[in-house]
Structure 1
């Protein structure tokens, strides 16, 4: 099959030049009662490699065991949250290798969800693909008004796992989730907030102040009460969440279309490439 053009947004899944440097390793600041996990430095829109997802899972697991912790903040460096997985890792990959990558992503997302204290995603710029899922894996999302968030992975022939769909359905319902996944578009932050996909819309430039105010509110509450509140809500959702977590992992990509769709996307972003 020949393709000359895919109607993909320039930043829908990656957006940075392919010859730019990969983001730095996941940085964890856990010196106080509020831990902060920072993704990359903004380069390549903080697209994460398999090793980065594994590091995120390890850091989240380490935080889950800390009795003195009150909250966890997850944000991206360089004024952008996360554009998902680094697509270059899948150039020439087999279906099995893509499935292994998805398993690594999901392990990290569940590790974040299993942190017993309140978690906040600070979303600036873009939260796309698995980056969107990471934001939704947190309890709350503080999102800049100019940011965009969504799951356009269908345009690459990637297959949405049950866990990804369930995270969205719990927030906006199955109908809205299907509409977004079928359309493969990115949502402006105000629209995402209006439909309930994100919890808090923040004016550009005010995200740090908003985060400080939120953490200050929690600082005046019982740490045990905060943990109990999270556990109580999560317990009620268990019958909806656990079937998706336990579902056998199927194929992660379209066997017929993924390779050429990914190739077309990568070549479109590779300098001096021609189709």
Structure 2
């Protein structure tokens, strides 16, 4: 159900099981992990400088495929701890900027996929939240962290206790994700942005990705982050893209960035 294509420096990963709103079973998680590994290998060769994750059909991802799960035999830790969490770490550390286009349902593991992506654009009518109150289960895949970090404890527990889903527009207004767009233009608009980013200064973007991760995961303070910024800038100074960017500015022309070890995406 997972498809990977690479065109003009952009890897597009598609969850393609619209008949079940792209719900993910164990085999699908393995396929998805392999797609990211393949795209990362292409990035190491300079063939990928941005990645787009999307879901086919009316929903992004409804979460785990529980249609055949028998609760008494369910290996929850095997699914979440040994498959989902390593996948989310792989996605988060992808060696290029990553984007997700989220429409319809974005729940459970689907929400985790969004959390592990650098930039998330959502359809205004997307549905995001924790429906697990109706299953006797709890929110997973990083949902507690995202909601508590952005919404606070009270609103987080309100959403969990009531199983209320919020729209993409409300999610963006609450600071959960980056931008809300009309559903009928979401994919085209996102593809346009990703294509532009794929022609940018990839090494500088990766430096910022690491700096943001330090602040998020290590709670790095202002002065420690400033010092890390200084070092990142000094490291970038030795790159071809840094030289090209300054030359283009001084010559009043558009820069032509090639990224790490690759050729410029056209």
Q: TM-score range by the shorter chain?
A: 0.7 to 0.9
CA distance in 1, matches of 2:73, 2:53: 31
TM-score using structure 1 length: 0.71
Q: 1:176 to 1:217 in 2, by over 3 A?
A: farther
Task: Give the secondary structure class of the aligned counterpart of 2:99.
Answer: strand
Corresponding residue number in structure 2 for 1:55: 31
Cross-structure match for 1:27: 3
Q: Is the 8 A contact 2:10 2:198 kept in 1?
A: no
Residues 44-86 of structure 1 deviation map (CA, whole Å, 9 limit, x = unaligned) = 1111111101221222233334222211111111232110111
Please, which of 107, 116, 140 is the counterpart of residue 95 of structure 2? 116
Name whichever of 152-161 and 77-86 sits farther off. Answer: 152-161
- Asked whether the 8 Å contact 1:42–1:78 carries over to 2, the reply is yes
**Of 89, 98, 102, which residue of structure 1 is paired with 2:76?**
98
In the TM superposition, what are the counterparts of 1:1-275 in structure 2 within 5 Å?
25-65=1-41, 66-67=43-44, 68=46, 69-95=48-74, 97-103=75-81, 104-161=83-140, 163-239=142-218
Q: CA deviation at 1:114?
A: 1.6
RMSD (CA atoms): 2.3
Q: 1:173 to 1:221 in 2, by over 3 A?
A: farther
Question: Contact 1:90–1:98 (CA<8 Å) still a contact in 2?
Answer: no
Give the 4+ runs in structure 1 shifted more than 4 A: none
Gaps of 5+ in 1: 1-24, 241-275
By relative contact order (CA 8 Å, sep 6+), the higher-ranking structure is 1
**Conserved 8 A contact 1:33-1:71:** yes
Question: Mean Cα displacement is larger for which, 82-91 or 161-170?
Answer: 161-170
TM-score by length of 2: 0.73
CA contact (8 A) 2:129 2:165 kept: yes
Contact residue 85 and residue 141 of structure 2 kept, 8 A: no
Question: 1:116, 1:230 within 8 Å by CA — same for their partners in 2?
Answer: no
Larger Rg: 2
What is the total number of aligned residue pairs between the two structures? 216
Cα pair 2:59 2:102 within 8 Å, conserved: yes
- Cα distance change on mapping 1:146 and 1:101 into 2, 3 Å: same
Distance of aligned partners of 1:140 and 1:82 in 2 relative to their CA distance in 1, 3 Å threshold: same
* Whole-angstrom CA distance in 2 between matches of 1:159 and 1:92: 14
CA contact (8 A) 2:14 2:54 kept: yes
1:237 Cα shift?
1.8
**Shift in Å at residue 39 of structure 1?**
0.5
* 3-state SS of paired residue (1:88): coil
